[in-house]
Amino acid sequence: MEYGCRNKTVVITGGTSGIGLAAARAFWLDGANVFLVGRDRGRGMKALTRIIGCENTEKFVFPAADLARLRFIAADVTRQADCRMAALTAGYYGKGKIDILVNSAGIYREKRLERVSVADYNQIMDVNVKGTFLMIQACQPYMLPRAEAPDEAGKEISAETAEENRNGSAADRIEGQDPKTIKDRCIVNIASDAGIGGNYGCPVYCASKGAVVSLTKALALDMAPDIRVNCICPGDVDTPLLEEQLKKAEGSYTKEEMGEGYPLGRIASAEEVAHVICSVASPANAFMTGAIIPVDGGLTAMG
């Protein structure tokens, strides 16, 4: 399937597994230059081999053409310095620009209010909310139109000087340009259906994803017309994160039982959510911003 993202620079946090990995593969197959951001370098290298369709990660040598469009950046999204380094790296290889940012890094903790410690609260909020905020803040200078506009000498602005684009209003940055010629830039945040309607037994997780939903709406207004900001809200998805959740539940419920609560009678695959991410990020959807999109098999429609 084609999304129109050929040669675009795409940064994906949480890209070593689950939804992020599936989105990375979809963008890569579409011809994009993909940068995975994650904490574990070993998992990152394994993810790269899976994206190009190789399961044997021990003796594999990357074809040069594939490696040129696919890189892993070791970074912790809860640390501002790491986020800035990740943005600088992607911006450098992207010739001063980042076209698409997908904030997929996230954690889930199933604990009722009385069992939540301050450490639990901080960890969930740090990854799910602060990590999203810091990555957007770090990547924004490389996503503004001037990040790839010619300077007075007719040369492209470098990644190192793109930071200067933080200053000035949106009107100033696009003055003299035909709006139809402005390059499409898009941020896709991954929240959850729990951020829309809440859920049992995970109040802090719900609060964190609700914050991502609100952040998306606010930034869609602040960043217009330069950068589109949208939010995908999946229900339960068959990912390693879900497997970890089931393991901690110690058999109190199964994947099949979880699916029975959905109008479509099952949970989603990571690839199904990745398709929505790529569609939203596509230039074909250049008029979509501030949208909160449930991908939950009809669950939120039940009220």
DSSP state at residue 156? B
Q: What angle do CA 198, 204, 206 make, to 5 degrees?
A: 25
In the block, which residue shows the tokens 């890094």?
105
CB 23 within 8 A of CB 281: no
Q: Is the backbone peptide bond immediately before 179 cis, with ω within 30 degrees of 0?
A: no
Q: Is 92 a catalytic residue?
A: no
In a 10 Å sphere around its CB, with 0-12 CB exposed, 13-18 middle and 19+ buried, how is residue 62 labelled? middle
CB 134 within 8 A of CB 78: yes
Cα–Cα distances in Å, from 123 out to 208, 236, 277? 10, 21, 25
Taken in order 82, 83, 86, 87, is the CA torsion positive or negative?
negative
One of 3, 108, 142, 205 is an active-site residue; which one?
205
For the chain, the maximum distance between any two Cα atoms, rounded to a whole number of angstroms, is 66
**To which H or E segment does residue 21 belong?**
helix 18-29
Name the CA dihedral angle for 38, 21, 142, 140, rounded to a multiple of 10 degrees.
-80
Q: What is the full DSSP assignment across 191-205? A: --THHHH--TT-HHH
The whole-angstrom separation of Cα 194 and Cα 196 is 5
The catalytic site residues sit at 205
